[in-house]
Structure 1
Amino acid sequence: MVFLRMVAVSCFWFGLQYWAMLVGYAGGGMARFDLLLPAWRAAGVSLAVVFPVAALGLWLAVSWGPVIWICAALGQVLMYTVWRDVFGSNILVPAMHALIVTVYALFRIALFLERREKASRVSSGLP
């Protein structure tokens, strides 16, 4: 639960960064929506919406939270790896997402193994 909330805070921060960029608050107004290239407009608006939604889902620990988060993270990874000629190269963001997704997967595997072991130890007490 603590891990999901930490990821939720980071997703909310990403969302705020995209909103600040789009409204001209960040970057001295040079990355306002009306000044962006169409690819950045699409990516910026999408991620400005998806990251806060993912943050809400992760914070509440609902089943759709990690799904939305993975979609947003995948979008950013694709931006900075596959389409780096359009969005620029930023190896830190894909590396960070890969690390956090790996830690999340390890937590899920550990939780699954713990629940499976606990279920196998349960006995009904009947002969």
Structure 2
Amino acid sequence: MLHDSAHVPKPSLTEVLFGWFLRLVSASCFWFALNYWALLIGFSHNGAGRFDLLPPEWRAAATALAVVYPVAAIGLWLLVSWGPVVWVLAAAIEIAVHEFYPGMFGARPLLFVLHGAVAVTFVLFRVALFVQRLRQARKVRVDSP
């Protein structure tokens, strides 16, 4: 008896590790989102960071990050293609406010290093997956004699 479903190849170790990496980044995005929401509702900093008490520049940045980070977390957790794109947007906003406006937002150099490390790791995983798929495409050809 023939199977009526298509054969689904087993994911490689690189693909499995990449999925775990994206889910780990997703968990960190969710943590960042919770921190920004805690700031906005007055749960952290003894209520001094409540939305109505924040200066306008902090209102804009914290609100944007409180919305973008959970969306990035969902996209990364579901392993969809738009997840890393939204994460890059969130990381770029956060890096921009802390690196270009340290007088208003404070300098956080470790944040830049961590976001950079995640970006480099992501690129290395994508290169490894590309090379792996290229090798598989060369190995299995239907037009080979």
Q: Which TM-score applies when normalising by structure 2? A: 0.85
Q: Does 1:88 align with 2:110?
A: no
Q: Does 1:68 align with 2:67?
A: no
| Alignment map for 1:1-12 (pairs within 5 Å) | 1-12=19-30
1:48 aligns with 2:57: no
- % same residue: 48
Deviation, structure 1 residue 21? 0.2
What's the TM-score, normalizing by structure 1?
0.97
* Residue in structure 1 matching 2:116, options 60, 83, 98: 98
Against the structure 1 CA distance between its residues 119 and 46, is the aligned structure 2 distance closer, same or farther, given a 3 Å change threshold?
same
Give the superposition deviation at 1:126.
4.9
- Report the structure number with the largest CA radius of gyration: 2
CA–CA separation in structure 2 for the residues paired with 1:37 and 1:117? 54
How much has 1:123 moved relative to structure 2?
A: 2.3
Specify every segment of 5 or more residues in structure 2 that has no aligned partner in the other structure, as ranges: 1-18
**What is the aligned length?**
127
- Write out per-residue CA displacement over residues 72-107 of structure 1, whole angstroms, 9 at most, x where no aligned residue: 001111111111121111111111100111111100
1:13 corresponding residue in structure 2: 31
- Report the alpha carbon displacement of residue 52 of structure 1 after superposing the two structures with TM: 0.3
Where does structure 1 differ by over 3 angstroms across 4 or more consecutive aligned residues?
none
| 2:45 aligned partner | 27
Q: Provide the rounded CA distance (Å) in 1 between the counterparts of 2:131 and 2:39.
A: 43
